[in-house]
Amino acid sequence: MNLHDQIQLYVPFNEQEETDKDIMLRAMVTLSDVLTRNNEVLHFTASAFVFNPARTHVLMVYHNIYNSWGWTGGHADGDPNLFHVAKKELMEEAGLTEVNPIQEEIISLDILPVIGHMKNGKYVAAHLHFNATYVFEVSDEATLQSKPDENSAVGWIAIDEVAQKCSEQHMIPIYEKIIEKVKKIEG
């Protein structure tokens, strides 16, 4: 199923997702190159939100750019299979060789603001990420390894401590929304 259809079929969880879904669908029809960073105003990204089997902890990385604990993820860079992008980024950023999807459907749709920042010695202007999030499960015993060019640590955080560990205040409601949704999925 193509990305437009996946988003079209996505059932929003709340008003925020309903609004973001509508904006994403309109942008896909009216704007060009929303799957690559060539569109410097907005483009698609995919994130992985990862639980341990008991669903008591989430796996997060300490992002060098944002100086905060957060999910793994990255730019679509032309790949319309955002599930694949989320899985690939998770494995790369956490040094994992095996991950299991809790479900392969999108769990969260969010338009995320990105402030201007330096990356690899170049300035990246403020823009928007049209983000699709997928949920995975990873063994508590898995060997973890950071990806020094992107993050400086990888670790398990108790789900009730996510808000304390995340210094990006706008991300906390998104993480809490996903945790709430996953609690309703039978394991």
Cβ atoms of 117 and 67 within 8 Å: the answer is no
Residue 10 three-state SS: coil
Q: What is the pTM of this model?
A: 0.94
Residue-wise pLDDT for 69-94, tens only, equals 999 999 999 999 999 999 999 999 99
pLDDT higher than threshold 60 for residue 157: yes
- The domain limits of the chain are 3-179
Q: How confident is the prediction for the chain on average, in pLDDT?
A: 94
Q: How far apart are CA 131 and CA 151, in angstroms?
A: 19
Q: Which amino acid is it at 124?
A: V
CATH code for the domain defined by 3-179:
3.90.79.10
pLDDT at 143 over 60: yes
Joined together, the tokens standing for residue 19 give: 């609004």
Token readout for 37 is 């960073």
Per the structure block, which two tokens stand in for 100?
Answer: 């299991």
Distance (Å, whole) CA 82 – CA 73: 10
Among 31, 43, 50, smallest CA distance to 138 is for 50
